[in-house]
Amino acid sequence: MCGIFGYIGKNNAKEKLIEGLENLEYRGYDSSGVAIVQNGQVHIVKKAGKVCVLKDELMDSDINGNCGIAHTRWATHGLPTQLNAHPHTDSKNTLCLVHNGIIENYLELKSEYNLTTKTQSDTEIIAELISKIDEKKNLDKIKKACNLLKGSYALAVIFKDEPETIYLAKKESPIMVALGNDGVYISSDANAFKKYANNFYILKNNEFAKISNNNIEFYNKNKKINKKTNNIEKTFSFENKNKYLMQDEIMQTPDALKETALYFDNFKNIKHYFDNVDKIYLIGCGTAYHSCLLGKKYLEFLNVPIFTEIASEFRYSKIKPSKNSLCIFVSQSGETADTIACVKKCKCKTLAITNVPNSSITFNCKKTILMKAGWERAVASTKAYCCQLLVFYLIKCLLKNEKPKWKQLVSSCRKYLKKNNIKDISKKVLNFEKIMFIGRQEDYVTAMESSLKLKEISYINCIACPSGELKHGTLALVDENTLVILISTKHSLHNKNLLSKQEIEARMGCCFVASNIADSKIELPNLSSDLLPILSILPFQLLACEVCISKGYNPDKPRNLSKSVTVE
């Protein structure tokens, strides 16, 4: 979703800002813009569509300066037009700003302060408010305006009367500052700093920053404060070998698993966190929610009630976990708004499983297990999902005092990906109107995740159904235009699964079996039953990617979706 980048230093800001925005593109957006200060004047360029459109215009222009702010916008209030893109200005043109988050009371503020606006964006209200406030210092204007805002915001502001200074403000939406060799960098996503700096500052709620060339000052609501830096995580480098990030990221799974397993040694004391726990809640969204479903299978031996919850539902449910509950939050990005809302609701033991250090979820949870999947940029989560499952498996081994067999997992994953023969199947998938994934137990979770992968990047209408539920309704959909992919990895259930195949074929549907057991159309890795669920998704990640590419789409940037859903 929306991204902020800023630069003030020795070099040409426009190149830095475009590079920064390119690094934020993976989050999903529909328009972009920059404000650059040149000889004391602020120049704004905004474009609907991709950053490359903005880049072309900016690079051809005479705009040059050493200070600027930039934004990628994912439309929430108002269409994704050039007008609604950030930066926004006030009507007197005294300042411009970029904003991540949502101002919930913007309509109330608009009428209370009699503000007129030219766009449909909630952000413009912030610009109007700041400019209306009668204070001498620009920082105080921002502070006073922020007091009136309800909702979430990360703001970067440039004032016309103080053009070589960038102000920041933060509540709920992330914003960070890094001091590089050639200037100060600002970003809403620490990944975008990697090239320029080794450490960075993270603003907390209700903190502000005043940044000028090589000078960063931090403030809370009352006074100037000192802040400590955080290290920028330079994970092992993953080369880009394929045309698309998603292809690269699937192929990085063996290394991501290995690094995650090795790093897990740092979290062994988590064992005691499970002492005296009487209920476990596993909470996440999208793919991370599917990890929770499989996580439950790994933890069932504990014999305590385990609940799996979709964060966007759980945040509004009447259930409040009791004091002795353990809530485990799974989130690749650590920034998903619904998951963060659940963390805040749970006043018990809280544990994050995430891929991003220093993310909002890690700050809000009492304990964190960090994965080492490396930067995942393609919208469809792949290697991070496998690593989330691995973490649950490693927790199970830790609690049961079993030696984890992760080396076997890594080598099997490597072998499987080398063989990759999903191309033929993907061609066949294109012949069907409807696709269904079915399975039982762990395989049903894989079916759900497979269906999500295929629909999110190839836009094919597909669903997942537990094999045993087919005849309670879903079988009505089966006809000659239907392909059912039956996932079957459990010896004890294989014959039952084959009955489902017959039921489908008797209705003229086509059924491909995906299995590690007998001769099957889609071969799954040959692994023991506790490890296989971590990798049984591989052929379907590859399948989704192939189908998407052969339909002429870009798997890294599916329509209507965003990598990091930072607003509700």
Give the residue, chosen from 123, 332, 516, 541, that forms a contact with ligand G6P under the rule CB under 6 A. Answer: 332
* Dihedral of the alpha carbons of 23, 25, 28, 34, in degrees to the nearest 10: 110
Give the residue, chosen from 286, 321, 533, 539, that forms a contact with ligand G6P under the rule CB under 6 A. Answer: 286
Is 360 an interacting residue with respect to ligand G6P (CB under 6 A)? no
Can 511 be counted among the known catalytic residues? no
Is 563 an interacting residue with respect to ligand G6P (CB under 6 A)? yes
How many C-beta neighbours within 10 Å does residue 371 have?
A: 27
How many C-beta neighbours within 10 Å does residue 358 have?
A: 19
Give the residue, chosen from 191, 358, 362, 381, that forms a contact with ligand G6P under the rule CB under 6 A. Answer: 381
Per CB under 6 A, the segment of 161-169, 179-187, 210-218, 282-290 that binds ligand G6P is 282-290
We find the least distance from the C-beta atom of residue 331 to ligand G6P, in angstroms, to be: 3
Pair type for strands 176-180 and 199-202? antiparallel
Is 379 an interacting residue with respect to ligand G6P (CB under 6 A)? yes
Can 2 be counted among the known catalytic residues? yes
Per CB under 6 A, the segment of 138-146, 198-206, 522-530, 558-566 that binds ligand G6P is 558-566
The residue (of 268 and 559) whose beta carbon lies closer to ligand G6P is: 559
- The CA-CA-CA angle for residues 442, 443, 448, to 5°, reads 100
We find the least distance from the C-beta atom of residue 287 to ligand G6P, in angstroms, to be: 3
Is 331 an interacting residue with respect to ligand G6P (CB under 6 A)? yes
- For residues 455 and 462, the answer to whether their CB atoms sit within 8 Å is yes
| CA-CA-CA-CA torsion sign (193, 194, 196, 199) | positive
The residue (of 381 and 536) whose beta carbon lies closer to ligand G6P is: 381
DSSP 486-541: EEE--HHHHHHHHHHHHHHHHTT-EEEEEESSSS-SEEPP---TTTHHHHTTHHHH
Q: How far apart are CA 441 and CA 135, in angstroms?
A: 63
The residue (of 3 and 286) whose beta carbon lies closer to ligand G6P is: 286
Q: How far is CA 257 from CA 163, 288, 384, 421, 545, in A?
A: 47, 16, 9, 22, 20
We find the least distance from the C-beta atom of residue 120 to ligand G6P, in angstroms, to be: 25
Q: How far apart are CA 291 and CA 308, in angstroms?
A: 10
The residue (of 95 and 257) whose beta carbon lies closer to ligand G6P is: 257
Contacts with ligand G6P in 252-281 (CB under 6 A)? none
Is 446 an interacting residue with respect to ligand G6P (CB under 6 A)? no
The residue (of 331 and 536) whose beta carbon lies closer to ligand G6P is: 331
Of the residues 2, 365, 387, 413, which is catalytic? 2
Long-range contacts, stretch 519-525, CB < 8 angstroms, 24+ apart: 520/488, 521/425, 522/422, 522/425, 522/485, 523/421, 524/487, 524/489, 525/412, 525/413, 525/415, 525/416
Is 336 an interacting residue with respect to ligand G6P (CB under 6 A)? yes
Give the residue, chosen from 54, 156, 256, 288, that forms a contact with ligand G6P under the rule CB under 6 A. Answer: 288
Q: How far apart are CA 438 and CA 270, in angstroms?
A: 35
Q: Which residue from 99, 558, 565, 101 is spatially nearest to 333, judged by alpha carbons?
A: 565
Is 482 an interacting residue with respect to ligand G6P (CB under 6 A)? no
Burial code (b: 16+ CB inside 10 Å, e: under 16) for 342-356 equals bbebbebbbbbbbbb
Give me 77's structure tokens: 């209030």
Give the residue, chosen from 333, 412, 451, 536, that forms a contact with ligand G6P under the rule CB under 6 A. Answer: 333
The residue (of 70 and 565) whose beta carbon lies closer to ligand G6P is: 565
Q: How far apart are CA 474 and CA 364, in angstroms?
A: 41
We find the least distance from the C-beta atom of residue 389 to ligand G6P, in angstroms, to be: 13
Is 522 an interacting residue with respect to ligand G6P (CB under 6 A)? no
Is 561 an interacting residue with respect to ligand G6P (CB under 6 A)? yes
Q: How far apart are CA 14 and CA 22, in angstroms?
A: 12
The residue (of 2 and 13) whose beta carbon lies closer to ligand G6P is: 2
Interface with ligand G6P (CB under 6 A), residue total 16
Is 565 an interacting residue with respect to ligand G6P (CB under 6 A)? yes
We find the least distance from the C-beta atom of residue 301 to ligand G6P, in angstroms, to be: 25
We find the least distance from the C-beta atom of residue 94 to ligand G6P, in angstroms, to be: 37
Give the residue, chosen from 24, 157, 285, 513, that forms a contact with ligand G6P under the rule CB under 6 A. Answer: 285
We find the least distance from the C-beta atom of residue 476 to ligand G6P, in angstroms, to be: 29
In a 3-state reduction of DSSP, which class is residue 307?
strand
We find the least distance from the C-beta atom of residue 284 to ligand G6P, in angstroms, to be: 6
Per CB under 6 A, the segment of 39-47, 72-80, 538-546, 556-564 that binds ligand G6P is 556-564
Burial code (b: 16+ CB inside 10 Å, e: under 16) for 479-492 equals eeebbbbbbbbbee
Q: Which residue from 446, 450, 471, 472 is spatially nearest to 462, judged by alpha carbons?
A: 450
We find the least distance from the C-beta atom of residue 527 to ligand G6P, in angstroms, to be: 24
Residues at the site binding ligand G6P, with contacts judged by CB under 6 A: 285-288, 331-333, 336, 339, 379-381, 561, 563-565
Please identify every residue annotated as catalytic. Answer: 2, 563
